[in-house]
Amino acid sequence: MKKLNNNRRNFLKVSAATGGGLLLGMTWLTSCEREVAIEEGTGFKMPPRPDMPDRWSEVNAFVKIGENGVVTIYSPNPEIGQNVKTSMPMIVAEELDVDWQNVVVEQAGLDTDNFNSQLAGGSQSIRKNWTILRQTGAAARYLLVAAAAESLGVPVAELRTEKGIIYHDASGKSLGYGEVASAAAGIEVPEDIQLKDPKDFTIIGQGKKNVDALEIVTGKAVYGIDLQAEGTLIAGIVHPPAFGMELKSFNADEVKQMPGIRHVVTIDAKPGGAEMQWSDVNAFPQLIAIVGDKTWQVFQAKKALKVEWTTTSAGEFSADHRKELKELIESGKADVARRDGDPEQAFEDADHIVEATYSAPFLPHNTMEPMNFFADVNGERALLNGPIQTPEYLRKTVSAVTGLAEEKVDIQLTRMGGGFGRRLYGNFGVEAALISKAIGGPVKLVYTREDDMTQGTYRPDYLVKYRAGLDAEGKLIAFHVRGAGTNGSPVFANRFPAGAVENYLAENLSRESNISTGAWRAPKSNFIAGAEQAFLDEVAEAAGKDPIDFRLELFDRAIADPVGEKNDYDAERYAGVLKEVRVKSGWDESGNQHRGVAAYYCHNSYVAQVLDLSLKNNRPQVDRVVCAVDCGIVVNPEGAVNQIEGGIIDGIGHALYGALTFADGKPEQENYNTYRLIRHAEAPKKIETHFVDNGIAPTGLGEPSLPPIMGALANAMYKATGKRVYDQPFANPTLRG
């Protein structure tokens, strides 16, 4: 039995359905009517769509049940490719006990009164909504069963449900959910809701196709950049060519005469006095906006615009960044984040000391869909629609910069063509709103690829130095990590091997920059995990121990007698994925594989990986990756495997090739012709994913597989070449800064 998290009246809004349907909780603003054709000859197999009811109730809700038993479930969180638009409704459908083939899924818009944490970030969508989604489905089922009991004149306890049908076995009678939906509206929701035992799940844990898969592969899925609305103009922006520059003046006369150009205006996305949010990272808030009839016309006008810029701070160079980070690391000044024991004395007593320094460059997000947003703002209200990971914070900022009350700002959500953290920062939505307000009509703002890659909000560059002290028997007795980065250190002071070493020191250093930085898939972990795991392999070799054995010995200490009380990981679960990947990969079997191992904890989940590598024309080729994952209950195994594989491929590609460099503040890579991404032929030939079945509530999955793969790759490259790699990108040394 679970108590409802919120007040029952707010949690489940129940209304008699004018069209014969029941509607429950979590309100939203649109009808779910839509048409999707199953095209012949596509080779794509999807379950048939259910027939839509003749009428839907006009009351807006999270769960909607039509008179024919069809169920609409609104997915509340932004869909960024992590498949929550499928997995979140699966959780509701499980407790509702409905046939998944009779479920229609729709994307909800922003509704902070009724939804919980509408944010796509930190791999937390399922974790934070797990209980409330289950309660929503279970409460709906309770009401339907109670209504059926009244209709049949039998006790509730004598009824059971299965796939949207309520059965009374004693009499042989049954009722469909749609037959009792209206009657259920008058029944009160109880204080406590009975949730299913996970062993009885029939939908959760079963692989389900992405609910938008057919539309995606047939080109019908609507991303932000696909939005069309009558009377909407296209907007483009012009920002300074380098960090440390601002707009001085421009001559718009020639541009205004170009075909299709309607407006040339300036906007300030951070006006003085406006209360800004953490998500408003933006190095170039003062912009020129060109508005016209068509995208091509606007892009041509941008090229023709004559602009004069002024320098406000010195332009930075990548080589200088690396030099300054090294100087920081070698300086005597640092902020101590954690100290256990007496590390200085332990290093003096050590028989052998291992030292290594690792670095990584800036990275852009490289979303396949450039930034874009639709906005229609007037003096009464603002309507916005587009791809955003943080709609609640976008609404707050739009309210602040337009002077409209928050309740007058309506944010709707589209599917996103990638985010990786970039769409946490909603400057492009704010810009669209301000442009619309300036011209007095609806606009769709569209960035070019060059706009996108040069606007900023990058993964910072990092440098970290490790030291490890071993005694005569190869036991790790001292560990020191000192990390430095642009606008912040990459070190997680309370993560492994903290808690497993008697004498431990973690220190942080940071340098400021006029280059804007922000979250990039698995923030900080995307660098520090690979560095840490590569270093632990080097320490294991110095100790004369197998890399997995060495790690497991440390976990044994953390399990039996942990050091400190702030360790943020479960050592048994951590060791568990290492043991699992050891078996599944055949680690102990003889062979000529060049193998690397890594394990890491982030976003509340544990991942261990073994990577097999070969050299082709003296270049690394990943032949096989075996991955063990402990993320609790896996809601949708098909989507989960996709997330793990995507993270692995993304991590390998950026470790080998990814880098953004600067010359006098100007990004040197502006498009895919100069920015190197992994290619199809370079992806692993085989990826095997194994999930630990422990029945624990779900944790993060979108990010945890990326960080450790960089370490596994580095360790395998050492086995293949005899040389350790310390600086990313491993296969592109000219771009290391």
**pLDDT tens, 39-62?**
444 444 555 566 655 543 222 247
What's the pLDDT band for 736 if we cut at 50, 70, 90? Answer: low
Residue with the bigger pLDDT between 690 and 50: it is 690
Class of domain 2-217: alpha beta
As given in the structure block, the two tokens for residue 268 are 């300030």
3-state secondary structure of 298: helix
CA distance 280 to 469: 43
Report the pLDDT value the prediction gives residue 14, as an integer from 0 to 100: 40
**Residue recorded with tokens 């007095």:** 440
Distances from the Cα of 693 to the Cα of 26, 131, 202, 588, 628, angstroms:
31, 19, 16, 23, 11
Neighbouring CB atoms inside 10 A of 54's CB total 10
Q: How far apart are CA 308 and CA 304, in angstroms?
A: 13
The span from the first CA to the last CA of the chain, in angstroms, equals 57
Q: Determine what percent of the chain is predicted with pLDDT higher than 70.
A: 91
Give the pLDDT score at 9: 37
Q: Look up the pTM and report it.
A: 0.93
Q: Indicate if the pLDDT at residue 7 is higher than 50.
A: no
Mean pLDDT computed over every residue of the chain: 91
Alpha-helical regions (H) of 507-546: 525-543
Q: Return the bridge partners of 628, or none.
A: 608, 690
Describe the crossing of helices 525-543 and 637-657 by its angle, rounded to 10 degrees. Answer: 80
Phi and psi at residue 459, in whole multiples of 5°?
-65, 130
| Range of weakest confidence among 22-36, 69-83, 194-208, 552-566 | 22-36
Q: Is residue 350 scored above 70 in pLDDT?
A: yes
Phi, psi of 166 (to 5 degrees): -105, 125
- Residue 638 has φ and ψ, to the nearest 5°, of -65, -45
Query: Averaged over 252-276, what is the pLDDT?
Result: 96
Token code pair at residue 632: 């609790």
Region 98-123: mean pLDDT is 92
Residue 29: is its pLDDT beyond 60? no
Q: Specify whether the CB–CB gap between 93 and 140 falls below 8 A.
A: no
Domain 224-313+371-446 in CATH 3.40.50.150? The answer is no
**For 172-195, what is each residue's pLDDT tens digit?**
999 999 898 888 877 888 889 899
Among 2-16, 174-188, 437-451, the range scoring the smallest mean pLDDT is 2-16
DSSP 666: E
% pLDDT > 90, the chain: 84
Over residues 211-220, mean pLDDT? 94
- With a CB cutoff of 8 Å and minimum separation 6, the contacts of 130 are 91, 697, 698
Tell me the domain boundaries of the chain.
2-217, 224-313+371-446, 334-363+458-735
pLDDT for res 59: 24
Average pLDDT (511-535) is: 98
Residue 21 has pLDDT above 80, yes or no: no
Mean pLDDT across 188-206: 93
Could you tell me the fold of the domain covering 334-363+458-735?
Answer: Aldehyde Oxidoreductase; domain 4 (3.30.365)
Bridge partners, residue 602, by sequence: 605
Q: How far is CA 650 from the centre of its chain?
A: 13
Mean predicted confidence (pLDDT) in 110-135: 92
CATH fold match for the domains 224-313+371-446 and 334-363+458-735:
yes
For the cut 50, the answer to whether the pLDDT of residue 277 exceeds it is yes
Residue 249, token pair as written in the block: 């003046």
pLDDT at residue 47 in the model = 57
Has residue 233 got a pLDDT over 80? Answer: yes
Higher pLDDT, 687 or 733: 687
pLDDT band at residue 17 under the 50/70/90 scheme: very low
